[in-house]
Amino acid sequence: MSHIVIDARESGTGSGRYVDKMVEYLHKLQPEHKVTLLAKPHRLDYLKQTAPNFTVIETPYKEFTFGEQLGLKRQIESLKPDLVHFPFVQQPIWYRGRVVTTMQDLTTVRFRNPLKNPIVFWAKQQVYKWVNKRAAKKSVHIITISNFVKEDIEHYTHIPPEKITVTYEAADLIPDPAEPMPSLEGKRFLMYVGRPLPHKNLDRLVQAFELLQKDQPDLWLALAGKKDELYERIAGRAEARGVKNIVFTGFISEGQLRWMYEHCAAYTFPSLSEGFGLPALEALAHGAPLVSTNATCSPEIYGDAAVYFNPLDIRDMTTKIATVLADPILREELVEKGKAQAAKYSWQRMAEQTLEVYNQALVKGN
């Protein structure tokens, strides 16, 4: 029986949805391996309940720290694993055992965070670029979440394509009852959910919305996500331009998110860079018409279930959104195609592919 250690430190975060679903469905497969999960203290109970046949061990080491490089390395070595899976590129880079790494995307390599000191961020970004290349080369195998990212990794790290396996994510229907948003009830609204990082391109979405309002003054735009300084900046710029009818929801419950998906006039997805684009796929699963960026992985993931625009062209974005809003037949077609497209993806299939990668990696050398 081989011993597999999975780094589950990101469990419970937005990006950690991948980790949580992978663990849940791997456990259902009942692998013939001993599996140990490394988790932060606040996620121990959740993971023990989700995967009772796996061993769950507390780890105090934060991502991108010296503790990760030294303490986590020692902790993993003490477990004597046959294979370690790092579901994100952050890892003890000098760990010499057999490793599988999931590289989600290369967005952080290309975009900066305006909340960070630019000089410090630039320096950290150079280290991050090196870590990506180092992790890609030292891992026995790489997992990623779309063919777009697979090709991007090939070109960026110069590793052979046969070393990379694509395991698509999936969208679940929200089980909580739909809970109306008082600020949006009775309104016709566009929506977006997620963090307002620069590559999400929300400033251009706001400008497109401003143009749409000239012909549709009763239209609203709902931007859902925890209020932070970046959202405050977007709100300030919108106010300075005199753009009205924007609702910044702040944190919302799962029931409220379901209600927004089910009642929006369209889900708008203007991103410049994505590895998979899970929120838009969730919107499709819940029957929202999708108007999406044509950049990076989006056409691959959403197929013919979206109307696409150039995310750098505000007028193209405006035109495509207006087309969907004005055509009820097109909207109905998008709803039906969207549900069918979302149904093509499966967390169980993702787990099965991941387990197959493990089995192959266990018989390979580093």
Model confidence pLDDT, tens digit, residues 129-156: 999 999 999 999 999 999 999 999 999 9
Domains detected in the chain: 2-170+346-362 (3.40.50.2000), 188-342 (3.40.50.2000)
Answer yes or no: are the C-beta atoms of 36 and 57 closer than 8 Å. Answer: yes
For 48, how many CA atoms within 13 A lie in the half-sphere containing its CB?
9
Answer yes or no: are the C-beta atoms of 156 and 133 closer than 8 Å. Answer: yes
Q: What is the pLDDT of residue 145?
A: 97
Say which DSSP state 199 is in: G
The angle, 0 to 180 degrees and rounded to 10, between the axes of the packed helices 229-240 and 202-215 is 30
Q: What is the pLDDT of residue 366?
A: 47
> What's the rounded Cα separation, in Å, for the pair 214 and 327?
18
SS3 166: strand
Q: What is the pLDDT of residue 357?
A: 98
Q: What is the pLDDT of residue 55?
A: 98
| pLDDT beneath 50: ranges in the chain | 366
Q: What share of the chain is helix, strand, coil (3-state, %, to 5)?
A: 45, 15, 35
SS3 239: helix
> What's the rounded Cα separation, in Å, for the pair 112 and 197?
9
Q: What is the pLDDT of residue 318?
A: 98
Task: Classify the C-alpha dihedral 322-325-329-333 as positive or negative.
Answer: positive
